[in-house]
Amino acid sequence: MITASDFEFDPPAMGDDEEDAGEKTVISVGNTMSKKIAEATKTPPTIVMLEGPAGYVGKLWTIDKSEMIIGRSMTSNVFVDDRSVSRSHTKLIMKDDTVWVMDLESSNKTVVNDDAIPPMTPVKLDDSDQIKVGNVLFKFQARGSLEAAALGKVQEKSEKDGLTGAFNKGTLMQKGAESFKRSKLLKVDMSILVFDIDFFKKINDNPQLGHPGGDFVLKELVKTIQTKLIRSDDFLGRYGGEEFVVILFGSNITQAAEIGERLRKTIEDHEFVYQGLKIPVTISVGVATKSPEMSTWEELFAVADQRLYMSKRNGRNRVTSEG
């Protein structure tokens, strides 16, 4: 819910110009509200989980396709890891700006505002309708919802690293586990790159650069990767400090090693200039691909991390994809 605290403004000045100052304040608040409303009109329809599995409550999904499946299958558009949810439980259907919900003959029904809907029969959703899928509860928010716009910003802040804009460690580990399961289920290749910045401590310890210089390098590195190297299906996360991970869904070891080398070369060739000082930056990369023997995401990550340290032991500024 949007409250008055979301709109911050200075109190009116006191004195001879009190009336003018008050008018200016009103104009400022009006402009702020108008801007927020204008931004909200661009917000697509969404659903947000109100009750469900730990780690998912509060998560928001954008309804950006004509049809989206909610279910326990890893192939679902809205994946819900809860036994009360059928593999393909419910379908969201969007036509123009109207969204409909349809139960897919699920075991535990789909309920809209306390009423179970008949199977295979689309039911139109209105803003703030609640949808119960098994034991999991969602709230629907129509296009242009101020609440959805605010929640989207909150979710982005909770998922992203505040300094670099890459996904944070918590989001990375959740995405990694989900991608690993999906890869096994669909029998699709999955690889990851684990890399960190060579001799990063020397940048922070340099009196001409210090930690602001180090922060600049981290932000510039992520910006460079996001604009030049990341494909639409790739996922970049900051694991911690100067260590990062790229999830490459659908890439085998050969493709991942090639991407790792492009990544290494791009960073080596990029000019990192902070307050007129050019900072030489290179990275060491470890590459791993999911194998049939692996049963968890953590195993895959451990192999890539081990190969990262092999790259560092063997001279840094290199990619290791085997061994």
Question: CB–CB of 111/103 below 8 Å?
Answer: no
- Which tokens hold the place of 220? 């510039």
pTM here is 0.65
103 CB contacts (<8 Å, ≥6 apart)?
A: 89, 90, 109, 110, 117, 118, 119, 120, 121
Burial of 121 (0-12, 13-18, 19+ CB in 10 A): exposed
Question: CB–CB of 234/248 below 8 Å?
Answer: yes
Q: Which residues are catalytic?
A: 242
Q: Would you write out the chain's pLDDT as a tens digit for each of its 323 residues?
A: 333 333 233 443 444 444 444 444 444 445 554 555 445 456 789 999 999 998 788 888 999 999 999 999 888 999 998 999 999 999 999 998 899 999 999 999 999 999 999 999 999 999 999 999 999 999 999 987 766 566 656 656 667 898 999 999 988 998 999 899 889 888 899 999 999 999 999 999 999 999 999 999 999 999 999 988 877 678 999 999 999 999 999 999 999 999 999 999 999 999 999 999 999 999 999 999 999 999 999 999 999 999 999 999 999 999 999 97
Question: CB–CB of 103/154 below 8 Å?
Answer: no
Burial of 19 (0-12, 13-18, 19+ CB in 10 A): exposed
Strand 60-62 to strand 46-51: parallel, antiparallel, or no bridges (unpaired)? antiparallel
Question: CB–CB of 311/320 below 8 Å?
Answer: yes
